[in-house]
């Protein structure tokens, strides 16, 4: 993505162009005519910038932006979303307030359909949804009533490094054990990543995870582990750290696999799912599914938003993720950050949707779609 100049830099650039224009044009002695011509030219240069910037500021002045999260409260996506609500508004022209609305259901598909089809398309609605949405659309999910490439992608907060972790009282201590012994895992819904990813390993590699769905978010799902209802759960690594860092430090759990294309630097000894592939075909299927980790935790807005507002949102996001107050807040929450600008994120989405048809045909039978 080309570097975006801040508003002040654009004004400075305009002044420089004006100065150069005067030096070139006013070398003659037609001072009055030259001044009129120069000022007229300057007006045509500055006016579109001023009007555009002012229209965005006027639009957002006094507005409230709704950030719709396709997950229940309490989990890692909710933590990231609340962080954004506290910091994004001050970087937008007009300084609108930002509030959060949880809309869980169907692995974020309910929220995705709502954002794509129902809400105002004016830049006052943002979303933080499941990173699997582009893949599920490409696979032909009947529940997907959206076009992933039609959203305006504002930026990525972090990659989505999912893991499966199991209580140390379980017979399953490593991923190798999961091929011979059954481990019962809690999950939210059939189409959520905490259900999809272990199920994919069962279908592709032959692990014996038993996934029990119906928990209303990762917090209740982890509580079920403490109660002995289940043995393990799948979630993001930073979500685990945020909610139960003590489980890691006291070794109350064993982290047995990572669902990502690259290993988390903090988990060098935990294999990725792709590492476990025994054939090139298995590897290609697993890479296709876990490409969602690169899409990660992101912010998007609706289709058809005026481009100047999309640009303002993208610039505000880029400024926010560099803001010392934002970074300090994220550190206190013990969450990871790996930001990516919106246009770069959009390219990843388009790559997923442009996946080879033969790979998609291999993925479709083993991926649990609604």
* pLDDT the model gives residue 45: 44
pLDDT digits (tens, 9 = 90+) for 45-96: 444 444 444 589 999 999 999 999 999 888 889 999 999 999 999 999 999 9
What does the pLDDT average to over 311-337? 96
If you classify domain 61-159+296-366 with CATH, what class do you get? alpha beta
Per-residue pLDDT for 128 more than 70?
yes
- Which tokens hold the place of 267? 């988990």
Q: Identify whether the C-beta of residue 257 lies closer than 8 Å to the C-beta of residue 175.
A: yes
Per-residue pLDDT for 29 more than 50?
no
Residue 370's pLDDT band, with cuts at 50, 70 and 90, is low
* pLDDT the model gives residue 54: 52
Q: Which of 11-20, 150-159, 182-191 has the lowest mean pLDDT?
A: 11-20
For the ranges 76-80, 190-194, 352-356, the maximum mean pLDDT occurs at 76-80
Phi, psi (deg, nearest 5) at residue 358: -65, -40
| 61-159+296-366 and 162-290: identical CATH topology | yes
CA gap 104, 68 in Å, rounded: 9
What does the pLDDT average to over 105-126? 95
- Which tokens hold the place of 72? 């229940």
The secondary structure of the chain, three-state, reads: CCCCCCHHHHHHHHHHHHHHHHHHHCCCCCHHHHHHHHHHHHHHHHHHHHHHHHHHHHHHCCCEEEEEECCCCCCHHHHHHHHHHHHCHHHCCCCCEEEEEECCCHHHHHHHHHHHHCCCCCCCEEEECCCCHHHHHHCCCCCCCCCHHHCEEEEEEECCCEEEEEECCCCCCCCCHHHCCCEEEECCCCCCHHHHHHHHHHHHHCCCEEEECCCCCHHHHHHHHHHCCCCEEEEEHHHHHHHHHHHHHCCCEEEEEEECCCCCCCCCCCCECHHHCCCHHHHHHHHHHHCHHHHCEEEEECCCCCHHHHHHHHHHHHHHCCCHHHHHHHHHCCCCCCCEEHHHHHHHHHHHHCCCHHHHHHHHHHCCCC
Is residue 213 classed exposed, middle or buried when 0-12, 13-18 and 19+ CB atoms within 10 A define those classes? middle
* pLDDT the model gives residue 233: 97
Neighbours of 365 (CB within 10 A): 8
pLDDT digits (tens, 9 = 90+) for 203-254: 999 999 999 999 988 889 999 999 999 999 999 898 899 889 999 999 999 9
CA gap 62, 143 in Å, rounded: 36
Residue 262's pLDDT band, with cuts at 50, 70 and 90, is confident
Nearest-CA neighbor of 204 among 261, 138, 140, 281?
281
* pLDDT the model gives residue 153: 98
Per-residue pLDDT for 39 more than 90?
no
CA gap 231, 121 in Å, rounded: 44
Q: Count how many residues are written for the chain.
A: 370
Give percent of the chain with pLDDT exceeding 90. 66
Per-residue pLDDT for 349 more than 60?
yes
Per-residue pLDDT for 9 more than 50?
no
- The chain-wide mean pLDDT, for the chain, equals 86
Q: Any idea where the domains of the chain sit in the sequence?
A: 61-159+296-366, 162-290
Q: Which of 8-22, 46-60, 120-134, 343-357 has the lowest mean pLDDT?
A: 8-22
- Whole-model pTM? 0.74
Nearest-CA neighbor of 319 among 82, 91, 124, 90?
91
For the ranges 67-76, 119-128, 157-166, the maximum mean pLDDT occurs at 119-128
CA gap 198, 191 in Å, rounded: 12
* pLDDT the model gives residue 352: 87
pLDDT digits (tens, 9 = 90+) for 287-321: 999 988 899 999 999 999 999 999 999 999 999 99
CA gap 103, 309 in Å, rounded: 24
Looking at domain 162-290, which of 3.40.190.10, 3.20.20.70, 3.30.1490.190, 3.20.20.80 is its CATH number? 3.40.190.10
Alpha carbon dihedral 233, 238, 240, 244, in 10-degree steps, equals: 180
């Amino acid at each position: 993505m080309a570097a975006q100049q801040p508003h002040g830099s654009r004004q400075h650039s305009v002044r420089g162009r004006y100065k150069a224009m005067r030096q070139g044009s006013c070398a003659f002695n037609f001072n009055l005519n030259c001044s009129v011509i120069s000022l007229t030219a300057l007006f045509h240069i500055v006016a579109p910038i001023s009007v555009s910037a002012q229209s965005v500021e006027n639009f957002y002045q006094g507005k409230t932006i709704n950030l719709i999260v396709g997950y229940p409260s309490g989990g890692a996506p909710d933590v990231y979303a609340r962080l954004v609500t506290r910091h994004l508004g001050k970087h937008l022209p007009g300084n609108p307030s930002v509030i959060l609305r949880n809309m869980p259901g169907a692995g974020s598909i309910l929220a995705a359909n709502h954002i794509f089809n129902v809400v105002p398309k004016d830049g006052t609605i943002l979303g933080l949804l499941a990173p699997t949405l582009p893949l599920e659309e490409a696979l032909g999910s009947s529940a997907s009533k959206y076009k992933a490439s039609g959203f305006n992608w504002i930026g990525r907060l972090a990659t989505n490094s999912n893991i499966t972790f199991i209580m140390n009282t379980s017979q399953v201590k490593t991923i190798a054990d999961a091929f011979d012994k059954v481990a019962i895992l809690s999950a939210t819904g059939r189409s959520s990543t905490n259900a999809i990813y272990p199920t994919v390993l069962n279908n592709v590699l032959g692990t014996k995870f038993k996934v029990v769905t119906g928990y209303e978010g990762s917090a209740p799902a982890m509580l079920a582990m403490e109660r002995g209802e289940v043995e393990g759960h799948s979630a993001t690594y930073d979500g685990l750290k945020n909610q139960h860092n003590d489980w890691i430090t006291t070794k109350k759990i064993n982290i047995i696999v990572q669902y990502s294309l690259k290993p988390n630097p903090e988990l060098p000894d935990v294999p990725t799912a792709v590492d476990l592939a025994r054939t090139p075909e298995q590897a290609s299927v697993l890479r296709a599914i876990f490409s969602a980790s690169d899409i990660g935790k992101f912010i998007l807005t609706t289709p058809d938003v005026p481009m100047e507002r999309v640009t303002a949102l993208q610039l505000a996001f880029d400024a926010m993720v560099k803001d010392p107050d934002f970074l300090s807040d994220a550190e206190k929450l013990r969450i990871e950050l790996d930001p990516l600008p919106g246009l770069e994120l959009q390219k990843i989405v388009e790559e997923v949707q442009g996946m080879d048809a033969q790979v998609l045909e291999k993925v479709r039978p083993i991926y649990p779609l609604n």
